[in-house]
Structure 1
């Protein structure tokens, strides 16, 4: 097995005295894991940071063997890790990919979405420029894993007009009139998810409540549940910034 590709570092954990096991998302071959010899060294630690883009090579003698990985830095986001909000966003976005995606399955749309989100965080660390993209990234993760939400029409009437809510049970949109008697039990549907204007902060938080509910219920369960702690840290920091 030999694979040369660009990849986004998503997770790094120590292995042995000096090595590291790295999980990285590739454009065409999905999530790939590899062992990096000396991955905990002073030279490689700045390269193997979640969010960094690397030119890498995976090599293994058999398909069952954990590949050896060599990586050369292409895009560094290490400077952002000293800023609490961007650091929390990068930590969560990459951890979600590492925890939720099965290895070796291609997710080209998710690669592009994650790369775009990280680029937006890099360009606008203050969150105004990337918070809506984060909601859309989480929605795409749900969709690509088979848990997509249907926000195109009302689950009750079938109408695509005046959609105002999302059912926490079905993940389907509900119109304003049909949902009014049950609004305390429904999520508010942010207008920006229906291409109705720019994303305001209250709508962004509404969107994050929706995606957080379905990620916790359908994707990050059992052994992956601890990954949600990274999301909780991000949400708390966003609340401090936006009030």
Structure 2
């Protein structure tokens, strides 16, 4: 069995003395793992960093085996991330969430394309946090837990949307919320596409999307906690100086 694809490197771990097991996200083969022989060498190790774009050739005797990768670098994103703490935290959040949420070997080509575009925006750190928020909304939608913020779930109105139902992910107006407002999640204007939005505004919106990651998506995956990298990114984003 063998195939060739491009992919985003999500994480690595040592395997024996000189090899690595790498986990990648590819458009045609989804989240996939395999062994890279000599992956810890001086020649390969600098290219096998999370977020790197790789040309991959996977081989295995049987389809359900771990198999081995030949990995050739296409482009590195390490320089853009290492030059800015917020960018590095964001890169770690993306790769950790993809590893956490994606089913093994299940293709998600639309999400792959969005993820690749997001990571390619890393050098533009002023634009990146908003792009990340939109990516996280797309991730929820791809996994079957998308939010419906187009109209009020109670009244059907499209104006004065102020809350999100923590159970359904649907928007609610102030009038529709009534005495139940304190039971609902805030709906920051940035989630409705309203500009401008600074980094603390985006961090607030990510706390709302985080509810659906933690309380809807994570339980469907075995009720594991979300990767700490996401919380670290939001904490850094929330600082006034982060922008």
TM-score (norm 1): 0.90
Q: 2:93 — aligned with what?
A: 92
SS of the residue 2:98 aligns to: helix
Query: In the TM superposition, what whole-angstrom CA distance separates every residue of 1:160-187 from its partner, at most 9, and x where no partner exists?
Result: 3332211122211111321253333322
1:130–1:82 CA distance, 2 compared to 1 (3 A): closer
Cα distance in structure 2, aligned partners of 1:209 and 1:19 = 38
Structure 2: gaps of 5 or more residues: none
Structure 1: gaps of 5 or more residues: none
Q: How many pairs align?
A: 239
Matched, 1:153 2:154: no
Alpha-carbon shift at residue 242 of structure 1 (Å) = 4.4
Q: 2:116 — aligned with what?
A: 115
1:223–1:2 CA distance, 2 compared to 1 (3 A): farther
Q: 1:184 — aligned with what?
A: 182
Q: 2:236 — aligned with what?
A: 237
Q: 2:66 — aligned with what?
A: 66
Query: In the TM superposition, what whole-angstrom CA distance separates every residue of 1:57-106 from its partner, at most 9, and x where no partner exists?
Result: 11111112112101111111121235321111101101110111012211
Cα distance in structure 2, aligned partners of 1:24 and 1:9 = 4
SS of the residue 1:105 aligns to: coil
Q: 1:29 — aligned with what?
A: 29
Q: 1:200 — aligned with what?
A: 198
Cα distance in structure 2, aligned partners of 1:35 and 1:191 = 45
Contact 1:25 1:32 in 2 (8 A): yes
Q: 1:51 — aligned with what?
A: 51
Contact 2:86 2:242 in 1 (8 A): no
Alpha-carbon shift at residue 191 of structure 1 (Å) = 2.5
Alpha-carbon shift at residue 202 of structure 1 (Å) = 4.3
Contact 2:96 2:227 in 1 (8 A): no
TM-score (norm 2): 0.90
SS of the residue 1:63 aligns to: coil
Cα distance in structure 1, aligned partners of 2:130 and 2:62 = 42
Contact 2:23 2:32 in 1 (8 A): yes
Cα distance in structure 2, aligned partners of 1:201 and 1:176 = 25
1:201–1:182 CA distance, 2 compared to 1 (3 A): farther
Contact 2:11 2:50 in 1 (8 A): yes
Cα distance in structure 1, aligned partners of 2:72 and 2:224 = 29
Moved more, 200-209 or 83-92: 200-209
Moved more, 15-24 or 156-165: 156-165
